[in-house]
Amino acid sequence: MIPAIHGLLIVLTPACTESDLIKDDNSTWSSPPTFENLALDSDPFVNAETKDSQLAVLHALFDPKTGYRLPGTYDKAKLEALFLDIRAGYFVKTEGIDEHIRREYHTFTHALDIVVTIHGLLREGGAVFLNEHEQSALVLAALAHDVLHCGVSNAFLINVNHPLATKWGAKSLQERRSADHTLMLLDKHKVLVAKDGMEDSLKNSIADTRTIIEEAILWTDMARHKEQMEKVAAALGKVIAVLEQVRKGGIGKGGATVEDVRTGVNVASLLDKETRILLAAFFLHCADISNPSKDWVLCERWAVIVMNEFFSQGDVERKLGHKLSMNCDRESVSVSKCQLGFGTYVIRSLLQLLEKLVYTAGSKSLENFEANHKHWEEIAKKEAESGKPYLMKLNPPSKEGGWLGELREGEDRVPNSRH
């Protein structure tokens, strides 16, 4: 008999026999594709520089022969049309918002960054937990996870009674909108669409792939961070027990490694669907907030871009006479202290959990994060000593990468004002 653990996990335990295993007939496992230039340390600003460079990344990742494969039939032209339509969603202006907000972070450059980051995370261990269709779904979910994002928080849309809040409701407002838009585009381009005459196993596989895309996008809502951390932490022990058992010859302890992926360690077929969705969504969330764990140059560049978007929201809130949202007041928020707080209370524990699950990607990310954290501490110390605030060196993505704001003359550095 196969034990159900916490209602979400079916695992092979040492007491189980071969005949106890459930093989998911819809799933096969293969290692994710390898691309020399696409890895955790890739520069997203280079990858997203032009529309052509963006398409080159996507065509490489989804090459029909060597790339990620989605279930069902589709061709290169259909996929390209889908990519371009998803991309177009990152350039859509939102009435009542875009006139006032400088959307600088939630751009197509961010989306492509998360695509390549999730690919790196899969390559460096994460892939052992997901079948090949789920791996592909996750890369597609990364591409679409912030499509139509307005550049303001969900709370802002609710507080200003924006029509989007009325339409989509309070729960994961923009994530729900992105997920629904993505599913609509899949239908429109007839990718991941079941057809009459298809075998049931293929129909199931298509349905499962769509579910992963939808769920992973919904779980990118930061409001669900704590809930997700608790669920993954609860599943961790059993997941790692399966991994350690599956490794050939029982060699190797702890989280999945790049070597596990290379040697074809397949844990996916021994985990139930709910657990695979949980892990897939966790990986996307880790990728989505991976900026603090990249090389310092990228970490700092992204930090300035995201803070500038927050401050833009704060400027509007001030004009409206509303209470300013957390981290949005350029008059009082310290960029370095904000980054230190985010690192201390969110990123460090997230990466520690990731490292336990996916050792290679997690340990590299944690090492980068700790080095970056020291940089922010040094900056904060200098600020305290000099009494002068950190000057944000704004270095935005290219226009084709989604930069929507126009830099005003001389505005290559945005003062963080006093704090």
Which residues lie near Zn ion (CB under 5 A)?
146, 288
Residue 83 or 90 having the CB closest to Zn ion: 90
Where helices occur in 145-224 by DSSP H, the ranges are 154-159, 163-168, 173-189, 200-218
Q: Which residue, 288 or 329, has its beta carbon nearer to Zn ion?
A: 288
- Min CB(26)–Zn ion separation in Å: 29
Residue 406: exposure state from Cβ atoms within 10 A (0-12, 13-18, ≥19) = exposed
284, 287, 109, 211: CA torsion to nearest 10: 0
Give the shortest CB-288-to-Zn ion separation in angstroms.
4
* Cβ 53 to Zn ion shortest distance, Å: 20
Name the residue nearer to Zn ion (CB basis): 282 or 390.
Answer: 282
| Half-sphere exposure (Cβ direction) of 260: Cα atoms closer than 13 Å | 34
Residue nearer to Zn ion on the CB measure, 220 or 336: 220
**CB-wise, 107 or 339, nearer to Zn ion?**
107
User: Considering only CA atoms, which of 227, 228, 106, 214 is closest in space to residue 156?
Assistant: 106
Q: Which residue has the tokens 């838009």?
A: 181
The CA distance from 376 to 257, in Å, is: 29
Measure the CA dihedral 347/345/229/41, to 10°.
Answer: 0
CA distance readout (Å), 72 to 20, 76, 203, 417: 30, 13, 8, 54
For 263, the token pair is 């040697």
For residue 225, the minimal CB distance to Zn ion (Å) is 13
Which CB atom, from 306 or from 333, has the smaller least distance to Zn ion? 306
Could you tell me the smallest distance in angstroms from the CB atom of residue 339 to Zn ion?
17
Residue number with CB closer to Zn ion (247 or 285): 285
Cβ at position 60, least distance to Zn ion in Å: 22
Structural contact between residues 121 and 63, judged by C-beta atoms closer than 8 angstroms: no
Of 124 and 288, which has the nearer Cβ to Zn ion? 288
Nearest to 285 by CA among 360, 323, 231, 340: 231
Element holding 110 (H helix, E strand) = helix 108-123
Helix ranges (H only) for 289-358 are 296-320, 335-342, 348-357
Please, which residue, 139 or 271, has the CB nearer to Zn ion?
139
CB of residue 337 vs Zn ion: minimum separation in angstroms? Answer: 23
Q: How far is the CB of 145 from Zn ion (least distance, A)?
A: 5
Q: How far apart are alpha carbons 134 and 266 in whole angstroms?
A: 13
Q: Is 411 helix (H, G, I), strand (E, B) or coil?
A: coil
Whole-number minimum distance, CB 289 to Zn ion, in Å?
8
